[in-house]
Structure 1
Amino acid sequence: GSTHDEVKVVDDQIGTPTYTLDLARLLVDMIETDKYGYYHATNSELPASEGDHDANGTKTGYISWYDFTKEIYRQAGYDTKVTPVTTAEYGLSKAVRPFNSRLDKSKLVDNGFKPLPTWPDAVKRYLEILKKQGFFDNLK
C-alpha cells in the first residue's frame, strides 16, 4: 500500500482466512473439554440468510486471495489498485497453494463450540491493534 501503487493477487484460489488470535481462543476452549478429535476452524462467513456480502459490500463467505487483499487495503484506508490475476499469470510461488482450501467447520458447531467471528471482523480487529501500535504512522 505505501510502497506500491498496484499489487497483483491471485483470484482463482479460494478459502476462508483464519485470525490466529481467534484460533488461539478456540483452542483454549477446546482443551477445557473432553471433546477429542480433529476439527476444521477458520474465521466464519456470514450466515447464508444474510447473503455473501456485508453492509460495505465486502464478500464475507469463501473468498479469493484477491478479495481478501482488497478488503485489507480498504479497511486500512489505502487506495492501492489490486489487480486480479490467475495463478498461472502470477507465476511460480515458493508456497504451493491449493485452488480450493475451503474447510467444513460443521463439526465445531455440532460439538457445541462457538464459530469464529467473520473474517472481515477479524481483519478490522487486527488492523486496530496495528494502529494502536503505531504501525501505520509512517506508511501513508
Structure 2
Amino acid sequence: MKLLITGSNGQLAKEVIKESEKREYEYVAFDHKALDIIDLEKVREAVKNEKPDFVINCAAYNAVDKAEEDWKTAYLVNGIGPKNLAIACEENNCAFVHYSTDYVFDGQKDTPYTVADASNPLNQYGKSKLLGEKFVQSLSTRYFLIRVSWVFGVGNETNFAKKVLNWASKNETLKIVDDQISSPTYAVDLAKATLDLVKTGAYGLYHITSPESCSRYEWAEYILKLTGWKGNLLPAKSHEFKTAAKRPKYSFMNSFPLKKTIGYNLIGWREATERFIEEVNSEK
C-alpha cells in the first residue's frame, strides 16, 4: 500500500506518518510549501507522479475565529483543496481519505449526531468544511469522509489540551466554558483507526471520536488533575467570552457504524487524555 499524505506538518499527519511507518507502508508526505492543495495543476501532478493507492488529506484551515473574516482562505483550503484532491484521485484511480468536523452541525440536538443527521453549520469554518464534504461526496467514487471533534495531540498545532496546559503554567485562576459539549479525539488513536478503516474498503461517511462526551470544563478539569495543578478552575458560559465565531453547544457524534466496520470504537476521552499527558511528559 502506498499513501500520499498532505499537510505533513500538522499533528494528525504526523501521527498518520508514525502509524504508516509502524505498518511498513510506503508513503510520501507533503507540507503546504511542497504541495499547496488549492493549486489544481500541482495536485494533479503530485498524484500522477506518485501513483498512491490512497490520498490522505490532513491539510486544513482550522482557525475557527479567524475564518469569520478570512473566509475566502478557509473556503479555498477546506473546500476547493479537497475538490482538487478528489478530482486528481478520480483521474488516477486512487481512493481518497478526507477529514471533516463536528462543526458542520448546529448543536441544537440533545442526543448524539449520527451520520444520517442533516448538517447546518453556525460559522464560516463549519461552512467551509461542509463545502469540502459536498465536493468529496459528489466527485469521488471511492472515499472515506471522516468527521472528527476536538482533536488533540503533541504535534505542532495549538489544540485545546495544549492551550489548557499553557494557560495553567501562567495563571493561578482559569475560567473554562461548561456549555460546549463534544468528545475529545486523540490524534494517535485517530491515525490508527483511519488506517484500519482504509484496509476495509468500506467506503463512505464515518464519525471517528471518543464514545464518551464531556464539556470543555470537564476536560480541562481532568487535564489539570493529571498534572497536579494547584490553581483555581472556574466554570463559565460561552457568552462570557467574545469570540468572532459562534460554536455549537452540543456536537457530540455517535461513531456508529465504526465498530461494525473496523471491530472497535476509540477509547474513552479520560484514558486518551492520560496517554496524552504521559506523551507530553516524555517529551520534556
Instruction: Provide the TM-score with structure 1 as the length reference.
Output: 0.78
Q: Which blocks of at least 5 consecutive residues in structure 1 are unaligned? A: 46-61, 135-140
Query: What whole-Å deviation, never above 9, does each CA across 1:97-134 have from its counterpart, x for those lacking one?
Result: 21001101121123243111111111111111111111
Query: What whole-Å deviation, never above 9, does each CA across 1:4-36 have from its counterpart, x for those lacking one?
Result: 011111111111111111100000101111111
Moved over 3 A (4+): none
Residue 72 (structure 1) aligned with residue 204 (structure 2): no
Query: What whole-Å deviation, never above 9, does each CA across 1:41-94 have from its counterpart, x for those lacking one?
Result: 11233xxxxxxxxxxxxxxxx2110011000000111122111011112x2224
Matches of 2:220 and 2:244, distance apart in 1: 19
Matches of 1:104 and 1:44, distance apart in 2: 7
Secondary structure in structure 2 of the residue aligned to 1:38: strand
Compared CA separation, residues 26 and 112, structure 1 to 2 (3 A) = closer
Residue 39 (structure 1) aligned with residue 187 (structure 2): no
Matches of 2:245 and 2:189, distance apart in 1: 24
Compared CA separation, residues 84 and 121, structure 1 to 2 (3 A) = same
User: Relative CO higher for 1 or 2, CA cutoff 8 Å, sep ≥ 6?
Assistant: 1
Matches of 1:25 and 1:92, distance apart in 2: 36
Compared CA separation, residues 95 and 70, structure 1 to 2 (3 A) = farther
Conservation of the 8 A alpha-carbon contact between 2:197 and 2:261: no
Structure 2 counterpart of 1:24: 191
Matches of 1:116 and 1:99, distance apart in 2: 22
1:1-140 equivalences under 5 Å are 1-45=168-212, 62-89=213-240, 91-134=241-284
Instruction: Provide the TM-score with structure 2 as the length reference.
Output: 0.40
Matches of 2:260 and 2:199, distance apart in 1: 17
Q: CA RMSD in A?
A: 1.3
Matches of 2:188 and 2:262, distance apart in 1: 20
Secondary structure in structure 1 of the residue aligned to 2:257: helix
Instruction: State the one-letter code of the partner of 2:233.
Output: V
Instruction: State the one-letter code of the partner of 1:37.
Output: G
Aligned residues: 117
Matches of 2:248 and 2:260, distance apart in 1: 27
Higher-helix-fraction structure = 2
Instruction: State the one-letter code of the partner of 1:105.
Output: S
Matches of 1:20 and 1:94, distance apart in 2: 26
Q: Which blocks of at least 5 consecutive residues in structure 2 are unaligned? A: 1-167
Structure number with greater Rg is: 2
Instruction: State the one-letter code of the partner of 1:39.
Output: Y
